[in-house]
Structure 1
Amino acid sequence: MSSIRNSDATVEKRILDAAAACILAFGVERTTMTEIARRARVSRPTIYRRWPDIRWVIAELLTVRIAGVLDDVPDRGVGREAMVDRVVLVAEHLREDEIVQSVIRNAPSLAMVYIAERLGTSQQILIDALAEAIKAAQVEGSVRPGDPHEMGAMCLLITQSTIQSAQMVEMLLDRKALNVELARSLNGYLAP
């Protein structure tokens, strides 16, 4: 049974890697299940057994990439400043992620679903991680009282806005300045 699960995970990884390659080669709007299947060396029904359509494949790809960034940027310790430093680094990684940025810039209808209409899996993962860090920082005394999940959701909104709109203000805020201002915003919001 374990080898079947490992095989499924390998196939899913190949499919998601192929989807990422297609997005980089053709853009989000021209990525097709046929091309993903060809690049992943699987049949289209193999993809359709896992995801109902291309939007679901792309959503899963984004979830894996965003959660992966959270895993790649290690916890920086307990306390508000350590948590904010980690959030700023995660945001910087996501601003530089070609797939995430391609979806934001080239598939606005898909991006808007997760920006304005519904909470996605990756966003919930980030809120949960933020809430856990906020709760620990509250105990430590560097974050004000309040519901950690509500505060985590607000931190997500602040950070998500920075990620999606950074290009708009890059003439005013370079990468370093943007990171400083994001940290200042989050520290000010969370301070006791």
Structure 2
Amino acid sequence: MEERQPLGDATQTRILDAADDLLERRGVRGVTIAELARRSELSRPTIYRNWADADDVVRSTLLRRVERILSALPARVHTRAALVDDILLFTALFRRDPLFARLLADEPEAFTRYTLERVGSSQRLILQWLTTAIDTAQAQDSVRPAPPSEIAVMLLLVAQSAVLSHGTVSELISEDAWERELRAALDGLLRP
């Protein structure tokens, strides 16, 4: 397979836009190379020059969504409190994102396959963001000493679990209580 061009290329954007629309309307099963070619008005070989298969396009589409959510967060945090605030903001934006909300509600098995079964590009991007933020907050003595990358993994696990289980426990705990308790768990994990 040829080497991919950098994401952001106009052709790739057309394909990802088509995938985005298909995912929101039809779910993961609705994303096929034939349908992507039709919706993007590009040939199948053009799509295959950029991605190995439809699954690869879905992963890139989800990564682009995560990138957009992360770009909505403040540039840099300096304290534990700001980091916890940003993680809670990320979870709120993630849960409100139409595509991720649809996957969580209608295709939890697909959501799990694309976000939880392995550490993919999206998780690595989130881990990089968390690691940088933890390192910065540690320099201010706001976060306990430990390797930032290891703390980041645990923060990711806690946040992912809370988001994935939110619907399951929504009858047991109010939205305000859910956020308060997630805040306490995150803060406790980071506290010196």
Answer yes or no: is the 8 Å Cα contact 1:28–1:102 preserved in 2.
no
Structure 1: gaps (5+ residues) = none
Q: Return the alpha-carbon distance in structure 2 between the equivalents of residues 182 and 6 of structure 1.
A: 36
- What SS class does the counterpart of residue 117 from structure 1 fall into? coil
CA displacement at 1:106 relative to structure 2: 4.2
Within 2, Cα distance between the matches of 1:117 and 1:24? 21
- Work out whether 1:94 is the aligned partner of 2:132: no
Cα pair 2:95 2:163 within 8 Å, conserved: yes
CA, structure 1 residues 18+76, in 2 after alignment: closer, same or farther (shift >3 Å)?
Answer: same
> Could you say if the C-alpha distance between residues 33 and 71 of structure 1 is closer, same or farther in structure 2, counting changes exceeding 3 Å?
same
* Secondary structure at the counterpart of residue 9 of structure 2: helix
Identity %: 36
Equivalences for residues 8-157 of structure 1 within 5 A: 9-75=9-75, 77-157=77-157
CA contact (8 A) 1:14 1:40 kept: yes
- 2: CA distance, partners of 1:32 / 1:142: 47
Mark the CA change 1:8 to 1:143 in structure 2 (over 3 Å): closer, same or farther.
closer
Question: Is contact 1:130-1:152 (8 Å) kept?
Answer: yes
Deviates more, 1:98-107 or 1:132-141: 98-107
The one-letter amino acid paired with 2:38 is R
Distance in 1 (CA, whole Å) between partners of 2:152 and 2:85 is 15
Letter in 2 for 1:39: R
Would you say how many aligned residue pairs link Structure 1 and Structure 2? 188
Q: What corresponds to 2:160 in structure 1?
A: 160
Are the counterparts in 2 of residues 80 and 143 from structure 1 also a CA contact under 8 Å?
yes
| 3-state DSSP of counterpart to 1:29 | helix
- Match of 1:95, SS state, is helix
Confirm or deny: 8 A CA contact 1:75 1:86 kept in the other structure.
no
**Quick one: which amino acid aligns to residue 57 of structure 2?**
V
In the TM superposition, what whole-angstrom CA distance separates every residue of 1:137-176 from its partner, at most 9, and x where no partner exists? 1111111110100000100010111122211112233433
CA distance in 2, matches of 1:136, 1:163: 25
Q: Is the 8 A contact 1:19 1:36 kept in 2?
A: yes
What amino acid is the match of 2:36? I
Q: Provide Cα deviations, 1:94-145, integer angstroms capped at 9, x if missing partner.
A: 1111212333444445433444432111111111111111111111111111
Contact 2:34–2:44 (CA under 8 A) maintained in structure 1: yes
* Aligned residue number for residue 190 of structure 1: 190
Alpha-carbon contact 2:134-2:152 (below 8 Å) kept: yes
User: Residues 54, 98 of structure 1: CA spacing in aligned structure 2 closer, same or farther, 3 A cutoff?
Assistant: same
**Residues 92 and 179, structure 1, Cα contact 8 Å, conserved in 2:** no
RMSD: 2.1
Deviates more, 1:164-173 or 1:77-86: 164-173
Point out the structure with the larger helix share. Answer: 1
Residue 77 of structure 1 and its aligned partner are, at CA, apart by 3.1
